[in-house]
């Protein structure tokens, strides 16, 4: 597929965004691994980054578990895998779009023997029962994607819906549709399912745009994940999409792919787990076999994963699990040699993807310029050793953060596809591993129908839409869409052909040219039929042709007559000009003989140029029904029901969260009061004996209520109601305590205001006494300030004496607001007087004065203008009223 993928670099000059600053501007990516998921985020003004989950980790276990009708995700769900394996679901991707009898279910049961699952009787796909409910894989995956969305929104602090999800390149049509359905149920706007190899390669290329030249560079990406291994060979080259070869842009092209769908770190862990299980049987005596106990097998699986990681850096270690089975502890030494012996048969499978990728690309190992190892499986020493033996002298590069390269590459694509960003172009050509064909019938020369098979979308970079025309059908018909191995993908039924023909073909001039059908392949690689129409060509009738010829002749005659008229008008104008010149001459000019001007004829009636009748093409819409044959997708009704299921879980989880928050607030208040009142804390000083008794009585009642009556059925409203009652009992003591804390600050504010008013009062008196003539302040104004200072001093002296004598559990005689108001009264009066001080205004010269001075330099006369308004330090206050005190 040709995909013009935009790149969002971390440098600011590459990023632009449009629209309002709301949640719709952000976009995310999900590296949907089988064991872990990594999430990328991009939003305006924030560099692209990996989303941290609730545990502040950069990757999240791809697990969901149920307990007591609650959902658990990520670390919490992973922790429940050993204690509640029946209702813990992981590694779900391999089960997507698989039918009963597929070998993947045998392998899944061997790996997770106690995870309960069964099959849908109609679709024969896997479903997971939990109590009275049964969930299909799409719904469980939707819950995991929903949780990823919620974590991203919490991290980004805004709503996020646009997403690019990365998937293995070998996913078929049914698997891709299933993931798209899960994203829809989760409330995500799926922009694209991007192949993970392309995403990782994109992450490398975006930061090395300048290094890409017209000479192709090839990179091999070897990725061993939890359950699959892929080898992807990509090519970087600078090339143009224009015919003139200009405007060359960096281009990424997948040229070779190899894969093993079941080879990964999980296979190694499973073998090591079985090895530990055998060791336990050999060393510990039990009444029953350990394989019958789900919790014991879960613990062994977890320990095997840990030991595998330790042996990547150490030659030996101890596997140990306390109380593994029947209260028996387990401890055994495990060496790297033992682990490598367990996987020796995997060596050919480790190399096979590289050999397959080279074969598809038609390149040799010497043509590969760069090699990158990705995935936790490649950290196993034996895997590295096998790969190095194949790669020989090729240097294995470490220029990618392999844990996050896929998520970061995908988030660049999310920025490009989201409408909120504009990014620099980076063309990406993805490869389709499963070409799509269409099967139909056509008529031979002798009238018989013959089956035909045509390629619809091939391996190499198809266009998004493909139009095919079927010419052998006159009534409703059916076509088959298949993969390269002739496995059915869908059946397309086209109806309404006969009715459309009868409507459009009304005479011999209308001819049916066939049925045009449009197929599309979207950015996610999903093929579908868009529309179909009956193509009818209508040729002009004999009458239409004759009418056209007649009108054409009339039009040509009008054009000829109109041209003659224009010539006559031109000749008349020229004759008139000559006559004028003759009259203006002296009369001595020689007389010339001109031909007489022909009299003007009447202007002919205008004719419109006729349009030549042409062949018309009519596309009559037909009915199209596509029925999937590879996998029965969820119906609209089933999708709607799953969305309701997720909504109901979200509602209940919110209710539970709000209830727990209300309960914790009440419990916290009870504990706080018990400490403050019973243990003699400072708070007790602000409580009267009567208040203390009421509060402690209520605390006793609430403690008994918590012990005897509170259950999971207790509503949030009950906790809120009881907390409100307790808060009412403690309101007055809390208010007294707060007043005692706030009053010292208010006193400090009052002291500052009093000192400033006294200083200004002394200055004002001094200024007035030394001023001759007109005084700055009137006697009344100074008297008002004097009285205000005096009354404020008396008021505070009285209140402070009473306040100091009060016990802390009495209501204060003076409140913070009263003290602040007195301070503001002083400041307001001083501000009024400050505004009375005049600042001399500078007179400006008038425009006329400037003009006279410029033109008559000897004159010293000046014109005057009205004086400016007085400039003051603050806005002028209203006239002071002496009676306000």
In contact, 200 and 405? CB cutoff 8 Å: yes
> DSSP readout, 721-759?
HHHHHHHHHTHHHHHHHHHHHHHHHHHHHHHHHHHHHHH
Rounded to 10°, the helix 779-805/816-834 angle is 160
Partnered with residue 237 across adjacent β-strands are 251
Name the pLDDT band for 544 (thresholds 50, 70, 90): confident
What are residue 815's phi and psi, to 5 degrees? -100, 160
What is the DSSP annotation of 632-691?
-PPPHHHHHHHHHHHHHHHHHHHHHHHHHHHHHHHHHHHHHHHHHHHTT-GGGGGS-HHH
State pLDDT tens for residues 749-790: 999 999 999 988 888 888 776 665 556 788 888 889 899 999
Give the lowest-confidence range in 482-496, 533-547, 576-590, 599-613.
576-590
User: Is residue 578 predicted with pLDDT exceeding 60?
Assistant: yes
Q: Are 377 and 402 in contact (CB under 8 A)?
A: no
Three state DSSP letters for 225-248: CCCCEEEEEEEEEEECCCCCCCCC
Indicate whether 316 pLDDT > 50.
Answer: yes
What local confidence, expressed as pLDDT, does residue 148 receive? 97
User: In 3-state terms, the chain is what percent helix, strand and coil (to 5)?
Assistant: 45, 25, 30
Nearest-10 Cα torsion for 133, 136, 138, 140:
50
- 495 DSSP assignment: E
Angle, CA of 182, 185 and 191, to the nearest 5°: 65
CATH architecture entry for 636-729: Up-down Bundle (1.20)
Check pLDDT > 90 for residue 660. yes
Q: What is the pLDDT of residue 4?
A: 42
What pLDDT was estimated at residue 838? 54
Mean of pLDDT over the chain: 86
**What is the structure's pLDDT at 680?**
61
Distance CA 508, CA 696 (A): 102
Both tokens assigned to 372: 């990158």
CA 640 remoteness from chain centre: 22
> CA-CA distance, 698 to 229, in Å (whole number)?
65
Structure tokens at 634: 């969820």
What is the per-residue pLDDT across 346-357, written as a single tens digit (0 to 9) for each?
A: 999 999 999 999
User: Are 30 and 166 spatial neighbours (Cβ–Cβ below 8 Å)?
Assistant: yes
Is the distance from CB of 351 to CB of 382 less than 8 angstroms?
no
d(CA 469, CA 216): 38
C-alpha 724/C-alpha 706 separation (Å) is 16
- Specify the range with the lowest mean pLDDT, choosing from 136-140, 169-173, 176-180, 396-400: 396-400
Comparing 70-74, 607-611, 666-670, the range with the smallest average pLDDT is 607-611
Given this model, what pLDDT does residue 580 score?
Answer: 79
Q: Summarize the confidence of residues 353-364 as an average pLDDT.
A: 96
Asked whether the CA dihedral 184, 189, 191, 196 is positive or negative, the reply is negative
Query: Cβ(260)–Cβ(352) under 8 Å?
Result: yes
Inform me whether the pLDDT recorded for 458 exceeds 60. Answer: yes
CA distances from 549 to 508, 545, 559, 606, 626 (A): 21, 6, 15, 17, 49
Which residue in this structure is represented by tokens 């054009």? 559
**CA 262 – CA 168 distance, rounded (Å):** 12
Among the ranges given (576-585, 703-712, 745-754), the one the predictor scored with the smallest mean pLDDT = 576-585
For the record, the structure tokens of 411 come out as: 């988030």
> In percent, how much of the chain has pLDDT > 70?
88
pLDDT in tens, 859-873: 444 333 333 433 333
Evaluate whether 143 touches 71 at the Cβ level (below 8 Å): yes
CB 775 within 8 A of CB 768: yes
Percentage of the chain modeled with pLDDT above 90 = 59
Residue of 68, 103, 65, 55 lying closest to 85 (CA atoms)? 65
- Choose the weakest-confidence range: 344-353, 387-396, 484-493, 520-529: 387-396
pLDDT at 372: 94
User: Residue 790 in contact with residue 778, Cβ under 8 Å?
Assistant: no
The C-alpha atoms of residue 260 and residue 111 are separated, in whole angstroms, by: 18
Residue 771 has what pLDDT?
A: 60
**What's the mean pLDDT in 425-438?**
90
Tokens of 481: 């869409």
Q: Which of 464, 535, 453, 384 is nearest to 192 (CA)?
A: 464
Segment 704-717 mean pLDDT: 90
Residue 685 has pLDDT above 90, yes or no: no
- The predicted structure's pLDDT at residue 19: 38
Other beta carbons within 10 angstroms of residue 31's beta carbon come to 28
Looking at the domain covering 436-539+621-628, what would its CATH class be? mainly beta
Q: What's the CA gap between 108 and 537, in Å, rounded?
A: 58
Is the predicted pLDDT of residue 5 greater than 50, yes or no? Answer: no
Would the pLDDT of 611 be above 80? yes
Two structure tokens written together for 8: 């969002």
Task: From the options 3.40.50.40, 3.30.70.3400, 3.30.420.40, 3.40.50.10490, give the CATH code of 2-264+348-429.
Answer: 3.30.420.40
Helix axes 381-391, 347-361, angle to 10 degrees: 40
CB atoms within 10 A of CB 868: 10
pLDDT of res. 215: 94
The DSSP call for residue 261 is T
The neighbouring-strand residues paired with 134 are: 129
Quickly state the pLDDT bin for 679 (edges 50, 70, 90): low
Domain ranges within the chain, ordered by starting residue: 2-264+348-429, 436-539+621-628, 636-729, 734-884
Q: Note whether 241 and 427 are within 8 A (CB).
A: yes
- The per-residue DSSP string of 14-47 comes to G-EE-S-SSGGG-EEEEEE-SSEEEEEEEETTEE
- CA 559/CA 607 separation, integer angstroms: 8
* pTM for this model (two decimals): 0.80
Q: Residue 841: pLDDT band by 50, 70, 90 thresholds?
A: very low
Side-by-side strand order, sheet with 63-67: 70-73, 63-67, 88-90
Neighbour-count burial of 606, counting CB atoms closer than 10 A to its CB (0-12 exposed, 13-18 middle, 19+ buried) = exposed
Contact status, residue 171 vs residue 36, Cβ threshold 8 Å: no
Would you give the DSSP letter of residue 874?
S
Q: Is the pLDDT of residue 619 over 80?
A: yes
Model confidence at 598, pLDDT cuts 50, 70, 90, reads low
- In this prediction, residue 600 has a pLDDT band, given cuts at 50, 70 and 90, of low
CA distances from residue 149 to 142, 178, 226 in whole angstroms, order as listed: 10, 18, 23
If pLDDT is split at 50, 70 and 90, which confidence band does 428 have? Answer: confident
State how far the alpha carbon of 527 is from the alpha carbons of 3, 44, 93, 518, 635, in Å.
15, 33, 20, 11, 18
């Amino acid at each position: 597929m040709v995909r013009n993928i935009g790149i969002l670099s971390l440098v600011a000059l590459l990023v632009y965004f449009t629209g309002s600053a709301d949640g719709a501007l952000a976009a995310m990516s999900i590296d949907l691994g089988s064991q872990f998921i990594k999430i990328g985020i991009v939003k305006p003004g924030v560099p692209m980054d990996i989303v941290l989950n609730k545990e502040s980790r950069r990757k999240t276990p791809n697990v969901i578990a149920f307990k007591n009708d609650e959902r658990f995700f990520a670390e919490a769900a992973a922790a429940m895998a050993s204690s509640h394996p029946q209702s813990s679901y992981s590694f779900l991707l391999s089960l997507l779009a698989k039918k009963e009898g597929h070998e993947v279910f045998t392998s899944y049961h061997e790996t997770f023997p106690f995870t309960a699952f069964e099959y849908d009787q109609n679709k024969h796909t896997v479903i997971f029962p939990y109590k009275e409910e049964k969930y299909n894989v799409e719904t469980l995956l939707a819950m995991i994607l929903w949780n990823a969305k919620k974590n991203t929104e919490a991290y980004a602090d805004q709503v996020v819906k646009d997403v690019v999800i990365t998937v293995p390149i070998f996913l078929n049509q049914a698997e891709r549709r299933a993931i798209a359905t899960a994203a829809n149920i989760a409330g995500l706007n799926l922009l694209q399912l991007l192949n993970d190899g392309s995403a990782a390669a994109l992450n490398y290329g975006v930061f090395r745009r300048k290094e890409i030249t017209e000479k192709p560079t090839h990179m091999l990406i070897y990725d061993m994940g939890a359950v699959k291994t892929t080898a992807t060979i990509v090519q970087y080259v600078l090339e143009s999409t224009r015919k003139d070869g200009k405007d060359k842009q960096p281009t990424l092209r997948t040229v070779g792919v190899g894969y093993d769908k079941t080879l990964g770190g999980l296979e190694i862990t499973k073998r090591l787990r079985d090895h530990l299980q055998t060791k336990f049987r050999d060393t510990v005596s039990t009444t029953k076999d350990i394989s019958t106990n789900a919790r014991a097998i879960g613990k062994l699986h977890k320990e095997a994963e840990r030991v595998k990681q330790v042996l990547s850096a150490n030659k030996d270690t101890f596997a140990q699990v306390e109380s593994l089975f029947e209260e028996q502890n387990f401890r055994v030494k495990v060496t790297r040699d033992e682990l490598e012996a367990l996987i020796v048969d995997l060596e050919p499978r480790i190399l096979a993807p590289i050999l397959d990728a080279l074969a598809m690309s038609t390149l040799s190992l010497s043509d590969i310029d760069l090699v990158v190892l990705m995935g936790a499986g490649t950290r196993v020493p034996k895997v590295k050793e096998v790969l190095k033996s194949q790669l020989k002298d090729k240097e294995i590069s470490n220029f990618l953060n392999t844990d996050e390269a896929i998520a970061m590459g995908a988030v660049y694509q999310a920025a490009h596809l989201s409408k909120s960003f504009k990014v620099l172009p980076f063309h990406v050509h993805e490869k389709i591993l499963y070409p799509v064909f269409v099967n139909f019938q056509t008529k031979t020369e002798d009238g018989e129908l013959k089956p035909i098979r045509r390629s619809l979308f091939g391996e190499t970079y198809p266009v998004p839409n493909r139009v095919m025309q079927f010419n052998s059908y006159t009534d409703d018909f059916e076509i088959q869409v298949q993969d390269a191995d002739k496995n059915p993908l869908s059946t397309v039924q086209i109806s309404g052909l006969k009715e459309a023909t009868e409507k459009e073909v009304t005479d011999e001039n209308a001819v049916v040219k066939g049925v045009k059908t449009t197929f599309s392949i979207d950015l996610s690689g999903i093929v579908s039929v868009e529309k179909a129409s009956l193509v009818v060509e209508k040729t002009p009738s004999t009458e239409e042709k004759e009418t056209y010829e007649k009108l054409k002749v009339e039009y040509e005659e009008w054009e000829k007559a109109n041209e003659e008229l224009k010539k006559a008008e031109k000749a008349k104008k020229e004759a008139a000009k000559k006559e004028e010149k003759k009259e203006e001459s002296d009369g001595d000019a020689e007389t010339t003989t001109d031909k007489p001007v022909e009299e003007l004829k009447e202007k002919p009636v205008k004719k419109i140029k006729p349009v030549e009748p042409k062949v018309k093409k009519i596309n009559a819409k037909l009915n199209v029904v596509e029925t999937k044959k590879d996998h029965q997708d969820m119906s609209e009704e089933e999708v709607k029901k799953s969305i309701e299921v997720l909504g109901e879980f979200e509602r209940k989880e919110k209710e539970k969260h709000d209830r727990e928050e209300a309960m914790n607030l009440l419990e916290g208040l009870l504990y706080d009061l018990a400490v403050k009142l019973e243990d003699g804390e400072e708070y007790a000083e602000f409580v009267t004996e009567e208040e203390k008794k009421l509060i402690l009585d209520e605390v006793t009642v609430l403690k008994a209520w918590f012990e005897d009556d509170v259950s999971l059925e207790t509503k949030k409203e009950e906790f809120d109601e009881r907390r409100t009652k307790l808060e009412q009992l403690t309101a007055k003591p809390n208010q007294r305590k707060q007043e005692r804390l706030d009053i010292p600050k208010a006193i400090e504010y009052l002291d500052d205001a009093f000192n400033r008013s006294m200083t200004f009062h002394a200055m004002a008196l001094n200024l007035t006494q030394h001023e001759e003539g007109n005084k700055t302040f009137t006697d009344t104004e100074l008297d008002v300030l004097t009285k205000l200072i005096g009354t404020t001093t008396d008021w505070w002296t009285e209140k402070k004496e009473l306040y100091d004598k009060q016990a802390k559990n009495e209501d204060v005689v003076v409140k913070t607001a009263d003290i602040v108001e007195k301070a503001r009264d002083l400041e307001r009066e001083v501000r009024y007087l400050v505004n009375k001080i005049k600042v001399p205004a500078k007179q400006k010269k008038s425009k006329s004065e400037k003009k006279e001075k410029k033109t008559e330099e000897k004159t010293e006369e000046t014109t005057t203008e009205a004086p400016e308004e007085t400039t003051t330090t603050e806005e002028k206050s209203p006239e002071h009223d002496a009676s306000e005190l």
